[in-house]
Structures are given as structure tokens and as C-alpha cells.
Amino acid sequence: MRAIPVLILLAAVASTAAVGCAPAAPSTPISTPVAAPKPPPEPELARSVAPGRAQVIVNGDTGPTGPVSCSTDDGLTTISVGESSLGVSVIVTDDAEPTVRSVTIGDVGGVALGYATGTGSEAPTAYRNGPTVIVSGSGSGTDSSDPARVVASSYQIAVACP
């Protein structure tokens, strides 16, 4: 009679050992959804900037903020922002309601573009807010990495002479 309890005990131990040695079922990875990062907000054009400073936005990308230099000659003010080769240059009339004569943007966000009076392009708008001149416009620029590629572009410039 003692043999039966021993056999039951051995059967229980053997089945427990066999279950522990069985190959594990393949585990499926549990994925937790992750929210995509939010893009940064579009920069807003300042209505005024400190003397000697600028804010340049081209297609939502910001450009140079300085140094700013200005010269006036024969009723026109030439404003330069940043380095001469990649910077920004604007020529406006000295009127209370300025007229834009030219805009040159060397490279902001991978786009270079320009405007000049008499080229048939749509003229940018300009106004003064105290010492700050604000210029807004749009036109065709070129992709700095592929100059043969034309890029529709919009730009805004707020600048105050030192």
C-alpha cells in the first residue's frame, strides 16, 4: 500500500519537471503607441525690433538677426543684415509709407531669392512702425542645394537701423 502514494508522488514530480522543460510559447512583443512629436510653432513676425537688430523669416525658417547696417543716399535707405554673401539686403524709399526697390536674401532655410523694381515680379509691401521697417513679399527663389530648382517662397523682414 505504500507503493501507491510513492508512485503518485513520483508521477506528480515527473509531470512538474516535464512541464518546466517544455519549450516556452513564443512571446509576442507588446507595443505601446507613442505620440508623434509636435512640430515647433511657426515663427511670428515681430512688429518692432531693437535698433541694430532684425528678424527674417523665409517659408517659416528664421534667418539672420544681425549685425544690421544702414546707409541713406538720395532718398533711399539700404539695409544689410548678416554677412554680405549669405545675408539679407533691402532697399526702401525714405517715405513715411516706404516703397521697396529691392530685396536680396542670400540663404535662409536653404532658399535664396530676390526682388527688384521693374522685373515684373509682384512688389513686396512695406510699412514703418516707429524705427522698424517691415517688408513682406513672395516670389520664386532657388534651392541652395540645387540652384536649378525653383522654389515658391514667401518672406517677412522686420529691421531697425542702429
pLDDT tens digits, one per residue of 30-57: 767 766 667 666 777 788 899 999 999 9
Is residue 46 one of the residues assigned to a domain? no
Q: What is the pLDDT of residue 43?
A: 75
Is residue 13 one of the residues assigned to a domain? no
**Separation between Cα atoms, residue 134 and residue 98, nearest integer Å:** 9
Is residue 130 one of the residues assigned to a domain? yes
Q: Which residue has the cell 535662409?
A: 108
Q: What is the pLDDT of residue 86?
A: 79
Q: What is the pLDDT of residue 47?
A: 84
Is residue 95 one of the residues assigned to a domain? yes
pTM for this structure?
0.72
**Separation between Cα atoms, residue 25 and residue 8, nearest integer Å:** 28
Is residue 30 one of the residues assigned to a domain? no
**Separation between Cα atoms, residue 93 and residue 50, nearest integer Å:** 21
Is residue 87 one of the residues assigned to a domain? yes
* CA angle centred on 94, ends 122 and 155, rounded to 5°: 35
Is residue 32 one of the residues assigned to a domain? no
Q: What is the pLDDT of residue 69?
A: 96
List, in order, residues 6 or more apart from 139 with CB less than 8 Å away: 113, 114, 115, 121, 122, 153
In this prediction, the residues of the chain whose per-residue pLDDT falls under 70 are 1-29, 31, 34-37, 39-41
Q: What is the pLDDT of residue 76?
A: 97
Domain count, the chain: 1
Is residue 96 one of the residues assigned to a domain? yes
Task: Supply the range of the domain harboring residue 139.
Answer: 54-160
* Helix, strand and coil percent figures for the chain, each rounded to 5: 10, 45, 45
